[in-house]
Structure 1
Amino acid sequence: MSGKQHSSKLPGLRRRTLLKGALAVGGATYLPVSIAAPEDVDAAVAELFGNRTPQAGKVTVKIPPISENGYSVPLSVKVDSPMTAQDHVVRIAVFAEENPIALVANFELGPRAGNASIQSRIRMGGSQRIRAVAEMSDGSLWSGYAFSIVTLAACVV
């Protein structure tokens, strides 16, 4: 029997090997996650609305210019619409370019809503542009956006 003994009960398992493995597994939890890109948002818009292209205008998106915490960012979207039976907003969809999933929320409205606006809180995976697309009763799409700088990101998993 040799004079050199290992403290490990498992053959071939040394403390250094165990520590390296633990660091590799622990470090894997901090790998960057894929995020949506503007082209992913365009694909999400196309998936939801088909091949129609949104026009700029009629939609006002409000978020704070600086958000200290991306876990709960206030958002409001208002669409210029009379909300009558003949002319109303059918849907408002909210998209985020830097979140892992581009579509953040999808709200369905009708003429009885009386007001073409929504208010909510969203998670933001970093400083980014938030885009809202409104679908009107005549089938037209309108869009608007706002940008916010986020100091503590959310949506990282």
Structure 2
Amino acid sequence: MNHQRRDTLKAGGGLGVLGLLAAAGMIKPEMANAAWNQTAFEAKNMDAAFAAFSAGKPAESADVVITAPDIAENGAVVPVGVVSKLPKTEQIVIMIEKNPNMVAATFNLPEGTVADVQTRVKMGQTSDVYAMVKADGKFYMAKKEVKVTLGGCGG
């Protein structure tokens, strides 16, 4: 386990590094909101969520691979990973179709970064999990159904 994050937070005296930078006026709330895609977060269907990022539904690609369990016993903590084998991957977005807010995570990747992300998401019910990848200015996607036996979004 990487203890560097924990040590950094301890050194921040409870505020954390970002809290200290904000308190010092070095970062402003507007900087955090610049990466916020409110249209995508508030989308009511997958087509609207895709449109908030791209010009329409992305093409399906075998070069975008989702790793997630076929059956999640607890929807509150579902491990999801996405690997993009596409060159010049710039962004990876994980979306859960039947969640109240479909966009679960967005990762902006600097040039030269290995396009392999892992996270845990909440799922309220059985749903398709989508991975959308922006690579070289174009959008691609993959999807996988995850069955949830115990809902994680208040269920």
Q: CA RMSD in A?
A: 1.8
Gaps of 5+ in 1: 1-37, 82-86
Mapped contact 2:47–2:57 kept (Cα < 8 A): no
Which amino acid in the other structure matches residue 70 of structure 2?
A: P
> TM-score by structure 2 length?
0.67
Q: Give the Å deviation of 1:41.
A: 1.5
> 1:65 aligned to 2:70?
yes
Deviations 1:53-88 (A, max 9, x none): 31111211111001000000011101113xxxxx41
* Structure 1 counterpart of 2:150, from 149, 152, 155: 152
Whole-Å separation in 1 of the counterparts to 2:58 and 2:146: 22
CA deviation after TM superposition for structure 1 residue 131, in Å? 0.3
Question: What amino acid does structure 2 have at the position aligned with 1:64?
Answer: P
The residue aligned with 1:35 is none
Task: Report the counterpart of residue 39 of structure 2 in structure 1.
Answer: none
Q: Which fold has the larger relative contact order, with Cα–Cα distance below 8 Å and residues 6 or more apart in sequence?
A: 1
Are residues 1:99 and 2:71 paired? Answer: no
* Uncovered stretches (5+) of structure 2, i.e. residues with no partner: 1-42
- Between the aligned partners of 1:40 and 1:148, the Cα distance in structure 2 is 18
Please say if residues 100 and 156 of structure 1, whose CA atoms lie closer than 8 Å, have aligned partners that are also in contact: no
Identity percentage of aligned residues: 29
Find the partner of 1:77 among 82, 86, 89. Answer: 82
Tell me if the contact between 2:126 and 2:145 (Cα under 8 Å) persists in the aligned partners: yes
* Native 8 Å contact 1:65 1:147 kept in 2: yes
TM-score w.r.t. length of structure 1: 0.66
Quick check: 2:81–2:119 contact (8 Å CA) kept in 1?
yes
Contact (CA 8 Å) 2:47, 2:56: kept in 1 or not? no
